[in-house]
Amino acid sequence: MAKTKVAVLFGGQSKDYSVSLKSAYSVIKALSKDNYDVIPIGITRVGRWLYYPGNYEAILDGTWENDSDCCPAVISPDAVHHGIIKLIDNSEMALQRIDVIFSVIYGRFGECGRIQGLCKLAGIPFLGSNLEASSTALDKAMTHLILDEAGIKTIGYFCVERSDMPYIDDIIEKRSSLLKYPLVVKASSCSSSIGSNVAFNDNELKSALKIAFSHHHKAVVEAAVTGRNFCCCVYENEGLIAVSSVGETVPVESTIDNLNNYISRTSKFSPLADINDDLSEKIKKTAKRIFRIMDCQGYAIIDFLLSDNELYCTKVSTISGFNKESVLSSLLMNDGLSYSDILEIMLNNALESKA
C-alpha cells in the first residue's frame, strides 16, 4: 500500500513563528513512517518558502533554514500538478505530488484563509476549515456580528476603523454610554496577543487604537470582563461532529497591564474543568452550534468566558497548536485518544472531506 504524502507547512511571517516550529516538530516526529511520507515546507520570517530535507531537530531549534540542502518550494496553484514545485537550481524544477497538507502556520498569514485558498486552488486536501470560515473566525468583528445575529452571547463591543481616527473624540463620546472603562482594544484580524491592550481613559484608548491599527485597519473595543475561561475542541470524526471535554485556563496570578499585553498572567491549563454536568453540557452544546454557524470544518477550538453566570463566546480558532502539550492535544488525550490517534483522525478527515 502506497504511503500518504503529507506536506507539513510551518514557520511563517508571524510572532507565532516559534510556536509553529514546535508544532511541526511534534507532528513530523509522531507521524508513522510506515504510513506517511513527510515533506516539510518551511516559511521563513521574511516569507521565503523552502523545502527542508534535513534533521528534524533543526526545526525545533530554529536553525532549519540554514541547511544547505534547502531549496525553494511552493504549492502549485495548478490543480493538475496536485503538489509542490521545487526549484533545484536556476534551471531545473521538480514536481512533488502531495496527498494532503498539514498546516501549522499561525497568525494572520496562516489562519486568515490565504493558505487554505491556495490549497483549494491546488486541489490538495488540507486540515481544518476552508478559506471563508478561516477568514471569518480570525476576524474578531465578523465573529461578533455572526454570533450576535445567531443569538449567542459575546462580550459588549464596538468597532473603530483606521479612517475613523480624525473623528475619534466624537466616536468616544457616543460610545461612552455603552461601555465603561477599562476597555480592551484588539486588532481585528490578528492573533489575540498581537495589538491587544487595555485602556483606562480616553487618552489610553486613543493610544491603544493606534497600536492596533499598526497591525490591522480595524480594531475591536470590548468591555474588560473577567471570569472563568473555558474551552473545548469540536472536531469531525468519520462524518460525525464530536465535542471534547471542557477545559479551563486557571490564572495563577493575574494583573491588568495598561498599554502592554492587556492581561498579563501566569496560568495553567486543565483539560478537565471543575464544573457541574449542566454547565459542561451547555458549553459543549453551544460550541457545537458555533462550529456549525461559523461553517467550520475539520476541527476548531471554541473559547468561552463565564462571568456573573453569563456564558460568552470569546474566540473561535480554526488552527490550533499541535504539539503534545497544546490545548487541542490535551483535551483529546484527556478523552482517551493518543497523540498519534489525534493526528490520524485529523488527516483522515481532511482526506475524506476535501477529496
Q: What is the block-wise mean pLDDT of the chain (355 residues), using blocks of 10 residues?
A: 93 89 96 94 95 95 94 94 89 91 88 90 94 92 96 95 90 83 88 81 92 90 94 93 96 57 66 97 98 96 96 95 94 96 94 71
d(CA 277, CA 280): 5
Asked whether 315 and 154 are in contact (CB, 8 A), the reply is no
At residue 301, φ and ψ (nearest 5 deg) are -100, 125
pLDDT of residue 260: 45
| Residues 255 and 265: beta-carbon distance below 8 Å | yes
3-state secondary structure 87-121: ECCCCCEEEEECCEEEECCCCHHHHCCHHHHHHHH
**The pairing of beta strand 197-199 with beta strand 183-187:** antiparallel
- Kind of pairing, strands 71-75 and 183-187? unpaired
For 298: left if phi > 0, alpha if psi spans -120 to 50, otherwise beta; the answer is left
